[in-house]
Structure 1
Amino acid sequence: MAISLANFTKLNQSVSLLESGASKAGSPIALVVLCTWVGARPKHIQKYDERYRQLYPSADIIIIASSIADMSYRSDRAQRDTLKPAREVILSHGGREAVLLHAFSNGGAQCASQLAASLPFSDRQKAFKVIILDSCPGVGSYQRSANAMKLSLPRGGVQQAIGVVLIHITLIVLFFCDRLLGVENAVSATRKRLLKNDVFPLDVPRLYIYSKTDDMVPDVDVHMHAEDARRNGYLDIRETVFDESAHCAHAVKHDSEYWKAVGDVVKAKL
């Protein structure tokens, strides 16, 4: 379901857009694409929306909500159909204006990789000028996947109890398919897609932001991916690692350091 924030226009069930109405001339960033984590609520995303509006007042902002369905049973084609409005906005910039892609957790990373892969090949090579990966990508494990999915459930009551049961049934089926039938799970597929230079060009600066105390996506998972990106030839790979902050809450605990790292990687592409 689309995350509803003030002044945003809902383009479909997952995608919302805020148009600044201002000229993009002279702005280091013309469009910010926020791919949220599963279960993210408006109050969670609002802080990122507000800060990006402060940093780049003339930039438009797209918010794309991720879901359990995207991480489990929805096909690539179905997901890419849902992403069509976001794709059209990105393509309207035609590679001439800087687009920043900011993904959160495995759900957001999966969404971001689907979005990039769904662009025509020639546009993929110039669509994004900066990529930021917050608390991702992880390595899929049963318990961590279950914990992440539970974030999208109502808190307390019968609905949560039923939801937990359904999550475990879904994960049992997915892990059966993965281990015995060779059907790759969404987390593994996302890790690989983020390293494909025909989807994400080698010259696009990439910032990984993560914590040593994240209990959903361990720091070693993210650091290993950053190292893989370097080995694969990506030219500007940065890591901002915090000693203590919760999953997708690094900007809450370390506000100034977080946004300095974002600003620095944006400047690198100017």
Structure 2
Amino acid sequence: MNAAPKHIDHYCRTYMCLYPSARIILATTNTKEFLFQSEARRRTDVKEAVSAILAPGQANERLFVHALSNGGTKRMYAVAGTYQALTGKALPAKAFLLDSAPGIPQFRRDMHALAVPVVKWPLYLWLPYMAVSLEIVLVVFVTVNWMPKWNFVPMDCARGYIYSKEDLAIDWKDIEKHATVAENKGYTVVKKLVEGAEHVQLFKGNGGEKGYWDFVERLWGMAMADREAQPETL
């Protein structure tokens, strides 16, 4: 959410190096869309992404989904929901990586996460923004991120969770609980706790870039049961 172009570029370039033959479908979001956008508008906004997945000749592609933070997770659900509405089927993802997500409402963490993009606003704008945002987020976080529609992705979709205890926006315990629920539902789950990393900056923690991207490749390898397999769509 509110990702800077240079950060988007970093992820895209790294994926291009790891999987040079893969298509990359990028879906972003910002604070305004995350908090106030209606479900109908949200699905309209992701239609291009869904159209790319459904493009002619792509039926046999293998899909890897990487969602960062609650904003990215919510965007992924919009894509999956739109795909399901159009096709009657779950999004055909083989692997789903949840990066620094999902989390449930906690006042201190929510204040931190929501304040970051508007930290330079004058106080007379900042205060009402935070008041309205927190009221809405109590509903949004729970209904969209903590209680997702599990049938949006198939049971053979491997789930990866990468997170840290130093994350001030998302509680690592919430992520581990979510992973446990996924395991209990029968999903293949793999987790990585990164020490010394901040929210959506896990490649800067212990293990660095190599440890982070090794986990990405490990998840895809589990999904394909073949360490040399490459996704065609990211």
- Asked if these proteins are the same fold (TM beyond 0.5), I'd say yes
Structure with the greater relative contact order (CA < 8 A, sep ≥ 6): 1 or 2? 2
Tell me how far apart the structure 1 counterparts of residues 217 and 24 of structure 2 sit (CA, whole Å): 17
Q: Counterpart of 1:169?
A: 131
TM-score, structure 1 normalization: 0.75
Identity in percent: 25
How far the C-alpha of 1:84 sits from its partner, in A, is 0.6
Structure 1 residue aligned with 2:192, among 211, 236, 240?
240
Tell me how far apart the structure 1 counterparts of residues 59 and 114 of structure 2 sit (CA, whole Å): 35
Tell me how far apart the structure 1 counterparts of residues 209 and 124 of structure 2 sit (CA, whole Å): 37
How many residues get paired? 220
Query: Structure 2: any 5+ residue segments left out of the alignment?
Result: 225-234
The reply to whether residue 44 of structure 1 matches residue 11 of structure 2 is no
Query: Structure 1: any 5+ residue segments left out of the alignment?
Result: 1-37, 179-184
Q: Is the 8 A contact 1:94 1:123 kept in 2?
A: no
Tell me how far apart the structure 2 counterparts of residues 186 and 240 of structure 1 sit (CA, whole Å): 26
Q: Counterpart of 1:54?
A: 17
Q: Counterpart of 1:187?
A: 141
Higher strand share: 1
Structure 1 residue aligned with 2:32, among 69, 82, 92?
69
Q: Counterpart of 2:83?
A: 119
Structure 2 residue aligned with 1:133, among 70, 90, 98?
98
Secondary structure class of the residue paired with 1:64: coil
How far the C-alpha of 1:160 sits from its partner, in A, is 5.0
Question: Aligned partner of 1:133: which letter?
Answer: L
Q: Counterpart of 2:231?
A: none
Cα deviations by residue, 1:165-194 (Å, 9 ceiling, x for unpaired): 24312135426xx6xxxxxx2211223454
Higher helix share: 2
Cα deviations by residue, 1:112-156 (Å, 9 ceiling, x for unpaired): 111111113656435212110000001122332232222323x53
TM-score, structure 2 normalization: 0.85
How far the C-alpha of 1:94 sits from its partner, in A, is 4.4
**Runs of 4+ residues deviating >6 angstroms:** none
1:124–1:145 Cα change, 3 Å: farther
CA-atom RMSD in angstroms: 2.1
Tell me how far apart the structure 2 counterparts of residues 74 and 99 of structure 1 sit (CA, whole Å): 26
